[in-house]
Structure 1
Amino acid sequence: MRKQIKYSGIALASWLMMAMAGGAVALAAPEAKTTAGQGVLAGYANGAQISLRWELVRTVFTPEAPGGGTQARLILSNLGQRPLPARGWTLYFNVMDGVATGPLDGNLLLEQVAGNLYCIRPAPGFAGVPAGQTLSIAYYHPDLVIKLAKAPAGPYLVYDAAPDVGQAIADYQLLPVTRPEQLDKGSSGAKPVVTAQDIYRRNAKADWMPAAALPPVFPTPQHLQTSGGKLQLVALPKVVAPVALKTEAAIARSLFPASLPAAGPNAPTLRLSVGAVAGSTSPEAYTLTIKNGIDIVGNSAAGVAYGLQSLRDLLPLPGVASIELPEVTISDAPRFEYRGFQLDVGRNFHTKQTVFKLLDLMARYKLNKFHFHLTEDEGWRLEIAGLPELTSIGAVRGHSAKPGVRMQPAYGSGPDPLDASGSGYYTRAEYIEILCYAAARHIEVIPEIEMPGHARAAVKSMEARYHRLKAEGKSDAARYLLNDLADKSVYKSAQLYNDHVINPGLESSFTFIDHVITQVAGMYKEAGVPLHTIHVGGDELPGGAWEQSPASRTVMQKKKLESTAELWDYFYDRVDAILRKHCLYASGWEELAARGTKVHGEHKLIPNPHFTQRGFSAYVWNNTEGAEDFAYRLANAGYDVVLAPVTKMYMDMAYNANPDEPGVNWGDYVELDTVYDFIPLDYLKNANPPLVGKDSLTDYGKRRVRGLEATLFTETVRTPERIDYLIMPRLLAMAERSWAPDPDWATEPDAGKAAALHRSAWSGFVNTLSQRVLPRLDLEHAGVDYRIAPPGLLLDGGRVLVNHVLPGIAMRYTSDGSEPNTSSKPVNGPISDKGQIKVAAFDRNGRVGAVSHIDNH
């Protein structure tokens, strides 16, 4: 579900030779005392007095590293009145994909602590940094640093004299990456930066369309017919609904502005009811009829709720003087029963209020599955009765000199255990509240408990519990232990951990899993919300895990298992039995349903025959590097499949290759049209470059595809605003693909005709977003800070041509090099002004997007 890191074979000596000249500044400083206590630190620089800058120096290509590496440096300035001493301190930071460790120029040493936590400390001969002096620390990344997300994050300083005190370095900045030697991609095949001209050419694939020509409802309904008439609303409609639809009735009343007079005897009626929707067996189907009144009928309450969201779309944008609705008949149902969004709160925590906002957004666009990624290597985010260590230790990140106190800093969370992104969890009561909030919006919450990999927070929490109870003389200290303390297996995960895997050789592992599943199921029961499945992870178990574990070897001998692959099957046999005991089925990442093998000497994933008849639901993320058709092969083999391809549906992927564009890039870059162009049941059709020799879906396999999921992993996501930026408006394209039937361009065999149909449909989609969908969010003050993309700019005979991915969005410009604001000149056509032209787009509330610039001389 994430990535496999590929390290080049560059030797430490090689990169040291390539390091920039100069290295660390060696200056005299007093020696730090070694007595405990913070008072001894008064004579030395603290984190608040240190300025730190990171610079990407240049990319490097050598025979040993043909894919490229990156020279970088940290520039440490001592701004205080006290020295950074010659010894007795350590500078900690996180680096997402790791760096080369070892001695550095200037008598410094760079070491890996664990996972993505690294540190620099002085070696013998280092002379310190006096007040007012600067230290340049050259080091090396063994891969290309294309995104700033790969730079060090969350730096903090610790003195040996006070080993439990982490001093955050708040004055930390990443220097711009703009020079040719910084942006050089060599022959690596990495995509170049995107220019304003590139953006213009991409935006030119769509045309502006008048509002009257746009589909009035989003996502596109199956059938919509208008008569040309209008229903004028001069008062609030009278809502008539049975008690069973009281929640939907409340939503209906909330759709209309409070400025309308109260419903009188002649006010139109808005009727809500559950009944048979002709021509559809989907429980989410509905009909919406507007004539003399408004009638919404659903096959279930969910169908009624979706009809209300379509009614919202038909209302004029907020702020108009009068309200009239078109006379219309809509008959609609979703294409897929699974229309999901996944939020990872393990890597960075997000509050209950943020979850509520996301659930509201999902309901608005008819998404119905909230995949809640609750546990990870870096954090356990759900209170479990009887296992307080999962949250007292596993949900807290921060610096500690002693093991078993809390989880280490990760993804820039820093030393403070009160950091709002690094630490946090949902209490039992809060989780039940989330379940009820989602159920009221007809959204199923699918909890994910990661296993056997991606489980470091659980492993370390239960290990700390074991040591505490053992010290207390408790006989059942190992009852929930997850790791074999005698395990000598050598492995490293994609996130650089070697101590994060649940061990299937321990009976206590299954006792733990059973207890957690029992507690989670109890929360759903208390909430009165059905639980059908638990997502049990399964992804990215690193090679080598379990191989040198005495406990696992004992089980393999006892069960006559020949390999760790068979031990994997044993593990999930046990997990499946626990789930079935609670009347649940197993969901998991594709690895849950996969078996690695070799064909003609080449590694290949095949459907695991062991589980094909179990009813497992496989979430398929990997559509890269030979596995492009793996989702289809799993479905053809009998697995239920949710499509979540990394190159199409991963919302944590950056939009483009520009260094400062937020997000990661290990899978691909995902623009708005990347998501829109996805053809769920035939995505090999428009693959670029074309794919040969891949399996397509059989008719049987098509019936196994449950639907789509957009996923957001949060390595780089520490705020609600960043969530909005990364998922919106891309989530809207996913909503369209999961609800509406294939557009005509997706099924047209003639390439020329398909291209013309695509241009028309894409134009309709982006104009609908720019003129209806996003302005409604703005004007309703929904608090969604969606990405406002930079405009496209192109020089044309002394003029600057301007366009935007959202045609018709307001744009403003300057020609004197200043940043555009709401008072700047509006873009009403080509710009003839001379100078440095800067252009930005604005939403309906004046929020500004990224700025594009071009010189027009």
Structure 2
Amino acid sequence: MIFKSTIGLALLCMTASQAAQLQVRWDQQSNKVTMTNLEPAPLPATGWSIYFNCMECATGASQDKVAVEHVAGSLYRLRPQTGFAGLAKGQALEFGSHKSAAMTKIYKAPQGFYLVYDNMPEQAQAIGDLKILPQPDLISPQELYQRNEQADVLPATALPPIFPTPLKLQQGQGTLHLAIAPAIIAAPALKAERTLAESLLRPYWPKGAARLARSSLRLAIGQVEGQASPEAYTLEVDAKGIAITGNSAAGVANGLQSLRDLLPVRPDGRASGPVDLPILSVTDAPRFAYRGFMLDVSRNFQDKESVLRLLDLMARFKLNAFHFHLTDDEGWRLEIAGLPELTGIGAVRGHSNISGVRLQPAYGSGPSPNDKHGSGFYTRADYLEILRYAAARHIEVIPEIEMPGHARAAVQAMEARYRRLKAAGKPGAGQFLLNDLEDRSEYRSAQEYNDNVINPGLESSYTFIEHVVKQVAALHREAGAPLRTLHVGGDELPLGAWEKSPRSQSLIASRNLQGTAGLWNYFYDRVEAILRRQGLAASGWEELGTRAEMAEGKRRQAPNPHFMQRGFKVYVWNNTGNAADLGYRLANAGYDTVLAPATRFYLDMTYNKNPGEPGATWAGATDIDAIYDYVPFDHTKRSGIPAAVQERLTEDGKRHILGLEGALWTETVRTRPEMEYLLLPRLLALAERAWAPEPAWAIEADPVKAEALHRSAWSGFVNVLGQRVLPGLGQVNYRLAPPGLKQEGGKVYANHDLPGVPLHYTSDGSDPSAASPLVQGPIAERGLIKVAAIGHNGRQGWVSRIENN
């Protein structure tokens, strides 16, 4: 980093209570931080540190006697050096935070600043005056207009009636007129589905009106002809009423979600009264048995209510697997009986100068241990409620306990336990210890830690894992949602780990293992045995089923034959570089595979390259079309990936593709609105691709015909999202993209990536609102034209602007 200070003479020492009166500004365009003292007392010449979190920061040589030091992970500190003169009122110091990059995004902003004096090392003072000086957009409204022209605007009568696209749908003639709610007829075994049906109908008719109903809504379990999936269903609407039959209760629930699509959009339950449903017949079943979504609650904690809200969204769009990323370096989020340190230490982030008290601040959580996203965990009661809530919606919860890497929260907590018990002279202090205290291995993890790995040379590591597995499995049994598989992580073990650990090296020698690779196999042999004793199968990230090899002079991951016949399920996230076809190679080798490609399904990636757009960039920008256009069995289509250099899926390999999964990592996500913004509408494209049959455009050989088919299907998809699906979500904070604009012939033309979304405009310099004029054709007014999509709840989307002179 480069530092510049405008510092006068050293003055009197600033007190701790005045620390918050520092002002911080980050210039997004220049990547520079300016820190100004607003107090009469100066920041002294010595005796303080200012800590902050920063993603992808680049530290370097100090200038002007001020240095920035990397502590660990995303935590940095600013410290005065010899000769620093102090910072008087009104004076500022300036430092560069990042190297230049193609995309300078808002997520890179330094955050969570706080001041600590050396003579009061446990008293941290938060610095709350932080603002970002934004960089202009890089994508012009004209570019957006051209992009949005890939879809046609459809009238409401032409919208696909059911989402995601069903397997078979036959439209009939006429409508079913429902003046009052239909009577619900269901067997006792469909209690949860009856409740769902009642909740769907309640906004449309007064409570109790169904007693006078002449029509019925019949729910039943029965064989769906030609469909083996337990989630298959039929939905029949005729002049007598509605009938939903599923191969199981899950099929009935899916049918009810499709019925929801036929009901008019009344997001706030207003205007109850008669409803006309189209006469139709649907036979439907999912393309993939596994349709998953992963939520990371370790990096930034999300409360129970946010998780339940997310499960409702998943059920609504027929996603059936909730991959719950509960542990990582920055937090352990599940109460485990017998190990209170896991949550007492491993679930708490905040400043402390004393080792073993809590985890360090991360991702802007700041100095306070009371920050509700840095700290937090699910009690046993919370987790039971989540499991039961998911089970009622036919969603399988797959908890993830990260190992052996990404385990810093657990490693720190168990070391603190060991030191406390040892100091007290208690027996069994090392029973659950996870790290070799003599380990001198040199490594740096993907998240910049050098102490985040469970040591396979310690028997106590396996004692810990077995205890945790037993406790998690017991919680699932208590909830009535038995655990079938545990996701055991396995990703991103840093190079160099274990190499200078006496305990690991002793194990390698005694077992005649082949170095670190052999130690890896030994570790997961032991983990699998633990799981089997609980009746569980092993799932993990792709590294669980791979080993490193050299190919054409480059290191790459290849299927690991050691675990090939074990029934391991691998989740393949890395589809970059020479790993683009890794998912196919693993499936062809016989591994059951879930495709979770980062460049398509990582929903924490940014929508586009505009600097103010939230989300990370390491896997690129991912807009709705990138997900919609993904062809699971041939990812080279509509991707720019050269097919010639990719391994193709064999027919046997296709049978090993279990399904698709989206993921939301939360390094850049703290609040529920931020989470929903990144998820929607992209989660709906994932739902479409995981449920719907393979689209005609993906199998059409003629490129001209394929393009026409794609335009028609894409138009239907984005229109139904903008006009019906998203408005039906109530107060969910889905993204409203900036409109496209073009100026032609003295008029301004506007469009949107979700055709049919209401656009409003102004020409007086103010931002549009729901009270502003609607865009109903070319805008002829002169001046600065501002246009924004306005959601059904009055929420304003991104504003686009263009001069019409």
**What TM-score comes out, normalization by structure 1 length?**
0.91
Which residue does the alignment assign to 2:88?
130
Give the 3 Å change call, closer, same or farther, for CA 743–583 of structure 1 in structure 2.
Answer: same
2:57 corresponds, among 92, 98, 111, to: 98
Which deviates the most, 813-822 or 558-567? 813-822
Query: What is the CA distance between 1:102 and its match in structure 2?
Result: 3.8
- Please, which of 34, 37, 45 is the counterpart of residue 86 of structure 1? 45
Q: Distance in 1 between matches of 2:699 and 2:260?
A: 31
1:623 aligned onto 2:540 = no
| Residue deviations 1:123-168 (CA, integer Å, cap 9, x gap) | 1111111223333234553766621212211111111121111111
Maintained 8 Å contact 1:96/1:495: no
Partner of 2:131: 173
Match among 285, 293, 308 for residue 356 of structure 1: 308
Residue identity over aligned pairs, in percent, reads 57
Deviations 1:732-777 (A, max 9, x none): 0100000011110011111111111100100000111112111222
CA contact (8 A) 1:836 1:855 kept: yes
CA, structure 1 residues 842+345, in 2 after alignment: closer, same or farther (shift >3 Å)? same
Question: How far apart are the structure 2 equivalents of 1:45 and 1:28?
Answer: 22
Counterpart of 2:781 in structure 1: which amino acid? Answer: D
After superposing the two structures, state which structure 1 stretch, 147-156 or 447-456, moved more: 147-156
Please state if 1:789 is matched with 2:737: yes
1:223 and 2:168 matched: yes
From 432, 445, 454, the counterpart of 1:493: 445
2:34 corresponds in structure 1 to: 75
CA, structure 1 residues 298+140, in 2 after alignment: closer, same or farther (shift >3 Å)?
Answer: closer
Q: Is the 8 Å Cα contact of residues 25 and 106 (structure 1) preserved in structure 2?
A: no
Aligned match of 1:28? 9
Which residue number in structure 1 is paired with residue 107 of structure 2? Answer: 149
Q: Residue 838 of structure 1: which of 786, 791, 805 is its match?
A: 786
Structure 1 residues 408 and 270: CA distance shift in structure 2, 3 A: same
Moved more, 815-824 or 402-411: 815-824
Measured after TM superposition, the shift of residue 322 of structure 1 is 2.2
CA distance in 1, matches of 2:19, 2:363: 19
Between 1:48-57 and 1:432-441, the stretch displaced more is 48-57
Q: Report the Cα offset of residue 45 of structure 1.
A: 6.5
* 1:259 lines up with 2:205 in the alignment: yes
Aligned to 1:636: 588
Cα distance in 2 for partners of 1:790, 1:303 equals 38
Equivalent pair of 1:286/1:298 in contact (CA under 8 Å)? yes
Q: Which residue of 2 aligns with 1:452?
A: 404
CA distance in 2, matches of 1:132, 1:767: 54
Residue 300, structure 1, aligned to residue 227, structure 2: no
> Following the alignment from structure 1 to structure 2, what is the Cα–Cα distance between the partners of residues 581 and 335?
33
Distance in 1, matches of 2:799 and 2:180, equals: 44
- SS of equivalent to 1:849: strand
* Aligned residue among 675, 683, 696 for 1:723: 675
Matched, 1:280 2:261: no
Q: What secondary structure sits across from 2:709 in the alignment?
A: helix
TM-superposed CA distance for 1:220, in Å, is: 0.8
Q: Does the Cα contact within 8 Å between 1:46 and 1:157 map onto a contact in 2?
A: no
Give the 3-state SS of the residue equivalent to 1:850 in structure 2: strand
Residue aligned with 2:522, SS = helix
For residue 775 of structure 2, the aligned residue among 827, 833, 838 is 827
Aligned residues of 1:45 and 1:78 also touching (Cα < 8 A):
no
- Corresponding residue number in structure 1 for 2:25: 53
**Greater Cα offset, 80-89 or 649-658:** 80-89
Aligned to 1:4: none
Matched AA of 1:174: I
Q: Specify whether residues 253 and 728 from structure 1 end up closer, same or farther in structure 2 by C-alpha distance, changes over 3 A only.
A: same
TM-aligned CA deviation for residue 196 of structure 1: 1.2
1:508-536 CA distances to partner (integer Å, 9 max, x unpaired)? Answer: 11111000000000100111112100100
**Could you say if the C-alpha distance between residues 690 and 832 of structure 1 is closer, same or farther in structure 2, counting changes exceeding 3 Å?**
farther
What's the CA shift for 1:686? 2.5
Structure 1 consecutive aligned stretches of length 4 or more whose deviation exceeds 4 Å:
142-145
Letter of the 1:470 partner, please give it: K
Cα distance between partner residues in 1 of 2:314 and 2:675: 13
1:325 aligned partner: 277
**Residues in 2 aligned to 1:401 and 1:806: alpha-carbon distance in whole angstroms:** 51
* Residues 814-853 of structure 1: CA deviation (Å, up to 9, x unaligned): 1232211122221111222222211100111211101111
Listed as ranges, the matches of 1:365-514 within 5 Å are 365-514=317-466
Instruction: Indicate if the aligned counterparts of 1:409 and 1:415 stay in contact, CA closer than 8 A.
Output: yes
SS of the residue corresponding to residue 88 of structure 2 reads coil
Shift of 1:29: 3.0
Q: For 2:133 and 2:172, how far apart are their aligned partners in 1? A: 59
Which secondary structure does the structure 1 equivalent of 2:5 belong to? Answer: coil
SS in 2 for 1:366: coil
Structure 2: distance between partners of 1:387 and 1:138 = 43
Aligned residues: 798
Contact kept? 1:45, 1:80, Cα under 8 Å: no
Letter in 2 for 1:649: F
Shift of 1:225: 1.2
Flag the 1:171–1:266 CA change in 2: closer, same or farther, 3 A: closer
For residues 84-133 of structure 1, the C-alpha deviation after alignment (integer angstroms, 9 at most, x for no partner) is 11111111001112321442x22111111111100001111111112233
Query: Partner of 1:574: helix, strand, or coil?
Result: helix
1 CA distance for matches of 2:135 and 2:391?
Answer: 46
Match of 1:811 in 2: 759
Change (3 A) 1:138 1:746: closer
**Aligned pair partner of 2:151 in 175, 189, 206:** 206
Contact kept, 8 Å, 1:98 with 1:496, in 2: the verdict is: no
- The residue that corresponds to 2:264 in the other structure is 316
Q: CA deviation at 1:48?
A: 2.2
Letter in 2 for 1:804: H
Q: What is the CA-CA distance between 1:31 and the residue it aligns to?
A: 5.7
Cα RMSD over matched residues? 1.5
Whole-angstrom distance in 2 between the partners of 1:498 and 1:793:
49
**Aligned amino acid, residue 463 of structure 1:** E
Structure 1: unaligned runs, 5 residues or longer: 1-14, 33-40, 59-71, 184-192
Cα pair distance change 1:472/1:145, threshold 3 Å: farther
CA distance in 2, matches of 1:216, 1:313: 7
Question: Could you tell me which of 180, 186, 203 is aligned with 1:235?
Answer: 180
Residues in 2 aligned to 1:706 and 1:226: alpha-carbon distance in whole angstroms? 32
SS in structure 2 opposite 1:566?
helix
Q: In 2, distance between residues paired with 1:26 and 1:678?
A: 55
CA distance in 2, matches of 1:599, 1:367: 37
* Alpha carbons 1:24, 1:138 under 8 Å: kept: no
**1:664 corresponds to which residue?**
616
| Cα pair 1:270 1:294 within 8 Å, conserved | yes
2:796 is paired with a residue whose SS is coil
Deviation at 1:227, TM superposition (A): 1.6
- Which range moves more in the overlay, 749-758 or 250-259? 250-259
Q: What residue number does 2:644 align with?
A: 692
What secondary structure does 2:328 align onto?
A: coil
Does structure 2 retain, via aligned residues, the 8 Å contact 1:348–1:718? yes
Contact 2:57 / 2:97 at 8 angstroms: preserved in 1? no
- Of the structure 1 ranges 760-769 and 470-479, higher mean CA displacement relative to structure 2 is found in 470-479
* Gap change, CA 1:139 and 1:707, over 3 Å in 2: closer
- Contact 2:549 2:557 (C-alpha < 8 Å) held by counterparts: yes
Which sits farther off after the overlay, 373-382 or 286-295? 286-295
Distance 1:720 1:210 in 2: 33
Does 1:271 pair with 2:221?
Answer: no
